[in-house]
Every structure is written in structure tokens, then in C-alpha cells.
Amino acid sequence: MNIEISNIANLPSRFGTFKVKAFKEPCADGCKEHLVIYKENLQDVPTVRIHSECLTGDAIGSLKCDCRDQLEYALEFIERTNGMVIYLRQEGRNIGLLNKINAYALQDNGLNTIEANHQLGFEADERTYEIVPYILNHFKIEKIKLLTNNPHKINSLAGIEVVERVPIIMDSNEHNSDYLDVKKDDMGHLL
Ligand SMILES: [Zn+2]
């Protein structure tokens, strides 16, 4: 993989003081720039959260999903436990922002999150995690505790041993309870 890697910078945040490093990955329509957020004194077997970008949730505070709550939970968690968040730029389960908004428009007309993706010609979840082992290898990390409710992620990290799954416990709201039910019932998430 022809990946460009930034220098290390300090990032003071409302969740704590982190180190950050960016990884620029070539892709079909240009490149994807991912961000790794981590504590200076990383544990030998760190707790790692893999977060996929969700502009509407992460930046706007959308209540249609639980992305921002999960991101904040993860940043607080790694601050406490000296872990790492890998922020992957694969918006809208990797269909991109424009397609995601089209899917939201279909959801406004009664489709659920999976049906809307299918109507647009996409799988329910198009995300990939090949870059994650590359990033962990870069940090010389071979074993992790994975902060996730998504069992598919555990098996998608070639060459990385997941010694423990650490669950994320979240409350639902009136806007995302149907979405969370679909995640649990139809996508196999452990909620
Ligand atoms: Zn989201």
C-alpha cells in the first residue's frame, strides 16, 4: 500500500490531551485521509476503537444514529485507559455523504437503513478495514482490546489478535431507536 504518513502532533481536546497522526490512503476517486488519535503512553495491549466517519452525527449532532455518542464514549475511554481511536474516513458506511443523504431521503419516506441502501444499489454496509492492520503494524501493535459492539470487526483485522471485546453501552433516543433495532436484529450488532 502506498500510504503517506504525517508527523506526530499534539492535540489538546475537551476529552484529554492526545497525540495524532494522519494516514493518507489512495483510493478509486482520489484519496482518504484517516486520523489516529492516541495517548502518548499507549498500553502494550491497548484498547482500540475503530470509528467510521459520520459527518451528520460526529459534527452536526444528528440524532438519527449513535455515532457521536460512540465517538465521545471512545475518546473518554481511551483518555482513561491509554488507548487509541482510529478515525476512518468512510462516510455513510462507505457510500459517501451524497449517497447517505439520498438514503436519508428514502428513510424519510419509510424505508429502513438497510432497505434504503439496497434501493440505491449498495450493500447494507460497504465499510472495509484493510487499513487498520497497516496502521496498527505501523505502531508495532500486535494485540488489542477492541471497543465495539460489531462482531464483524473482530474478524476483519488480519494479523491482529483481538484478546478482548469491550462493549459500548449507549442509550437510545426517539429518533435512533428504530435504527438501533435494525443494527441489532438485521446486522448482528451486540447491543
Ligand atoms: Zn452516524
Q: Which amino acid is at 116?
A: A
Mean pLDDT on 97-126? 95
Ligand 1 centroid, distance to 68 Cα (angstroms)? 7
Strands 30-38, 16-27: parallel, antiparallel or unpaired by DSSP? antiparallel
Distance 34 CA to ligand 1 centre (A): 17
pTM as predicted: 0.91
Rounded CA-CA distance 33/7 in Å is: 14
Q: How far apart are CA 34 and CA 127, in angstroms?
A: 14
Q: Report the alpha-carbon angle 123-168-59, nearest 5.
A: 65
Distance 70 CA to ligand 1 centre (A): 9
Q: How confident is the model over 24-79, as pLDDT tens digits?
A: 998 887 889 999 999 999 999 999 999 999 999 999 999 999 999 999 999 999 99
Is it the case that residue 178 has pLDDT exceeding 90?
no
